[in-house]
């Protein structure tokens, strides 16, 4: 078992390493490298159904995986030019800084120290989340405030670990952290009752609860203790690639707002009079050229993977791997949520 201070020290050492590594990477030209290679190297996590998970044949699926497929469609006009490279949360930033991957698309939470301190650039938000606590019902806790003195299992190299420390300190509560590298290790420890509490983003708790040996014996406490804005991240220093990743996400969101889907995109492109839809789909203008892409780049994205709403439905809708009702922040801004794409002008 690690103490919190030891694990925080390890985190800071890892941050220092990745900062040094960042300066050794040549900047620019990621698009050229990706084109020459013939596929996008997409950094994902090991296994988080609904977001990134391989099936028995090694085929990846999930919301974050669909974003990699969208990017592949933007660059190659086909969604399958992607290699998925999994890493643990603790290893992921070095994976990006070393150039092993072209982006991370794997529930990375956007924070200031990551954005400004690690030579990274966040491209936007694919999923708004927040951290929660899972406990055995037998513990008798009804609220996070009842967790004074608890042992808490969590994963190293995550915002989760830091939010946990903040929350307990701010509320004058004591706890003992039990920290692991992988999600499977955390779950195994929680199931083996090595800790009273499992804490991570609430989407993960939802995904994991149903997979426990006896789901009915566990519950998620009502509190959400953090704001987690999760999305794709790239290295700083290559504005073109950052724009491609950012505007691919914006295209998915704008398409939903404009009612453009994988099923109707062809018809919309040839018949719509909406000026923004025409620019988005390349019927008017050459917006794609500004990023070194074909004018049909966003058309190819939507044709291949659909709009943001289709991605959500496929992965997190009632028939998705982990149903998470699309209420609250993950709705479009026009429906009371926070998903907003700047203008395609």
Ligand X SMILES: N[C@@H](CCC(=O)N[C@@H](CS)C(=O)NCC(=O)O)C(=O)O
Residue ranges in contact with ligand X by CB under 6 A: 45-48, 88-89, 107-109, 155, 158-160, 182-183, 200-201, 204, 228, 230
From 147, 101, 148, 106, select the one nearest 129 (Cα to Cα). Answer: 106
Closest to ligand X by CB, 33 or 47: 47
- Token duo for residue 15: 């941050």
Identify the burial level of 209 via C-beta atoms within 10 angstroms of its C-beta, where 0-12 means exposed, 13-18 middle and 19 or more buried.
middle
Identify the burial level of 35 via C-beta atoms within 10 angstroms of its C-beta, where 0-12 means exposed, 13-18 middle and 19 or more buried.
middle
CB of 234 to ligand X, least distance (A): 15
CB of 283 to ligand X, least distance (A): 38
- Token duo for residue 17: 């390493």
- Token duo for residue 210: 């149903």
From 253, 249, 303, select the one nearest 281 (Cα to Cα). Answer: 303
Closest to ligand X by CB, 95 or 230: 230
Closest to ligand X by CB, 45 or 79: 45
Closest to ligand X by CB, 46 or 274: 46
Closest to ligand X by CB, 230 or 300: 230
User: By Cβ distance, which residue is nearest to ligand X?
Assistant: 45
Q: Which pairing describes strands 131-136 and 120-122: parallel, antiparallel, or unpaired?
A: unpaired
CB of 226 to ligand X, least distance (A): 9
CB of 26 to ligand X, least distance (A): 26
CB of 71 to ligand X, least distance (A): 19
Closest to ligand X by CB, 160 or 272: 160
From 179, 135, 116, select the one nearest 153 (Cα to Cα). Answer: 179
Question: Could you tell me the CA-to-CA distances from 85 to 49, 102, 113 in Å, in that order?
Answer: 16, 10, 24
CB of 252 to ligand X, least distance (A): 20
């Amino acid at each position: 078992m690690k103490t919190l201070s030891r694990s925080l020290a390890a985190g800071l050492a890892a941050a220092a390493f990745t900062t040094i590594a960042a300066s050794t990477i040549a900047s620019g030209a990621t698009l050229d490298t990706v084109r020459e290679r013939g596929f996008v190297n997409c950094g994902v996590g090991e296994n988080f159904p609904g977001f990134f998970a391989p099936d028995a044949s090694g085929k990846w699926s999930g919301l974050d995986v669909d974003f990699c497929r969208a990017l592949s469609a933007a660059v190659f006009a086909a969604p399958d030019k992607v290699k998925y490279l999994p890493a643990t949360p603790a290893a992921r930033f070095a994976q990006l800084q070393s150039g092993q991957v072209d982006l991370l698309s794997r529930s990375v939470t956007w924070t200031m120290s990551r954005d400004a301190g690690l030579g990274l650039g966040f491209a936007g938000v694919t999923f708004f989340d927040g951290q929660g606590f899972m406990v055995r019902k037998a513990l008798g806790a009804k609220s996070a405030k009842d967790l004074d003195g608890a042992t808490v299992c969590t994963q190293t190299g995550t915002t989760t670990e830091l939010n946990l420390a903040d929350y307990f300190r701010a509320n004058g509560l004591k706890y003992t952290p039990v920290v692991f590298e992988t999600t499977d290790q955390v779950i195994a420890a929680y199931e083996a009752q090595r800790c009273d509490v499992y804490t991570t983003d609430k989407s993960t708790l939802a995904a994991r609860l149903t997979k426990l040996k006896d789901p009915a014996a566990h519950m998620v406490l009502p509190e959400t203790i953090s704001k987690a804005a999760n999305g794709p991240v790239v290295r700083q220093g290559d504005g073109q690639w950052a724009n491609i990743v950012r505007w691919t996400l914006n295209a998915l969101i704008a398409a939903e707002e404009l009612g453009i889907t994988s099923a109707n995109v062809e018809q919309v492109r040839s018949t719509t009079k909406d000026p923004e839809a025409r620019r988005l789909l390349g019927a008017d203008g050459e917006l794609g050229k500004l990023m070194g892409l074909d004018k049909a780049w966003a058309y190819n994205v939507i044709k291949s993977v659909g709009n943001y709403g289709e991605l959500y439905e496929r992965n997190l809708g009632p028939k998705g791997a982990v149903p998470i009702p699309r209420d609250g922040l993950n709705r479009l801004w026009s429906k009371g949520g926070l998903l907003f794409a700047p203008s395609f002008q």
